[in-house]
Amino acid sequence: MRITLVEPYFTGSHAAWAREYAAHSSHEVELLTLPGRNWKWRMHGGAVTLASRFLEQPRPDLILATDMLDLTTFLALTRNQSHGIRTALYFHENQLTYPWSPSDQDPALQRDLHYGFINYASALAADAVLFNSRYHRDSFLGALPAFLKGFPDAVDADSAARIGEKSRVLPLGLDLRKLDRHRPQAGEGARVPLLLWNHRWEFDKAPEPFFEALYQLADEGVEFEVAVVGESFGRAPGVFRQARERLGCRVVQWGFLERFSDYAAWLWRADILPVTSRQEFFGASAVQALYCGCRPLFPDRLAYPEHVPVQALEKVLYREEEALVDRLRTLILDREDGALLDGFVERYDWEKLAPVYDSFLEGVAAGVDGVVPEVTAW
């Protein structure tokens, strides 16, 4: 089968997902992309540019697009060639429930609903709607009715249910096996516990409560080190600058690591992953750390519970009413390992997921009576 994968925002986890699926799939997957910048313009105009390129290529058996594409515009502009080709829309994130940072808010318009409407109309046009986690699917579908009620009239209320009927969970595939190449040969012996931050340096990852907990533990004299290795995009919250100064010599690594081998080395070395995010539709960086044996401390919300086996939930998740610093202190002082997760996240490796993707997308392309096959692995 020949698949055209359309990604207007080709960077970071979007790019990795597209490249890696193309590499691991048994199908021929051709990438149709634009550079990952100016996300708002990509959602508005990316479909126009990519439609022109699509018309220059051989006709595929299936179109696999992501949430950054205005699929309705793309299909309209390519109708002479795309007519009859079934489409699957993969949601890495969505603009209905994504928490916008203060810098993205337009005081005159409050939140611009048009980006959410692009997601909605694209989902309505697609034959299959795929989400990277159960939380993501449920939060998007749950937000749709109220979103539609916000418009003045002529709203198709039943459209939310139709989107729900063709929505499935297909987890994000990751090349976890490549982390094995950087696994240390032997342990370092007893040392100070190392805490890890390997997320983006942005508002939605909630760095403030993370660092506040570290400040309190440092003031108490609890021994720990911290490695902050996530990527910064130029407008990082001010708390990062303050944290580097306040934590001083406890900081053993600071800043994004260009080489994957360096990044992987810190994942294998880290002991504890405290997470405070306001938003996470999947959590690729967290899954990578879990694969490398880092013990997590996750909030009991968003997509995080899906990455933890049932028998470990009580030890790994903290609730809103619990103090993060208390759970973190216990975790540091106990110095337990991450064995209780027992390789649970290995199921996200492409070696296991690529055949699931391939089989599912074959079913979408076949389109038996318009019924989208269920993904049973999750």
Model confidence at 203: pLDDT above 70: yes
Model confidence at 16: pLDDT above 70: yes
- Cα–Cα distance between 277 and 252 in angstroms, integer? 22
Please tell me the least confidently modeled range out of 72-86, 97-111, 327-341.
97-111
pLDDT bin (cut points 50, 70, 90) of residue 233 is: confident
Contact 89, 123 (CB under 8 A): yes
Q: How is residue 130 written in tokens?
A: 């795929």
pLDDT tens per residue, range 95-150: 999 876 666 555 444 457 899 999 999 999 999 999 999 999 999 999 999 999 98
- Cα–Cα distance between 121 and 249 in angstroms, integer? 51
**Amino acid 103: pLDDT:** 60
Question: What residues contact 208, with CB distance under 8 A and at least 6 apart?
Answer: 237, 239, 276
**Amino acid 111: pLDDT:** 56
Q: Residues 349-376: what's their mean pLDDT?
A: 85
pLDDT bin (cut points 50, 70, 90) of residue 334 is: confident
Threshold 0.95, pTM exceeds: no
- Cα–Cα distance between 188 and 224 in angstroms, integer? 15
**Considering just the CA atoms, what is the radius of gyration of the chain in Å?**
22
Contact 163, 372 (CB under 8 A): no
Model confidence at 58: pLDDT above 70: yes
pLDDT tens per residue, range 262-314: 999 999 999 999 999 999 999 999 999 999 999 999 999 999 999 999 999 99
Q: How is residue 93 written in tokens?
A: 């994130």
pLDDT tens per residue, range 178-191: 999 999 987 666 68
**Amino acid 292: pLDDT:** 95
- Cα–Cα distance between 59 and 56 in angstroms, integer? 9
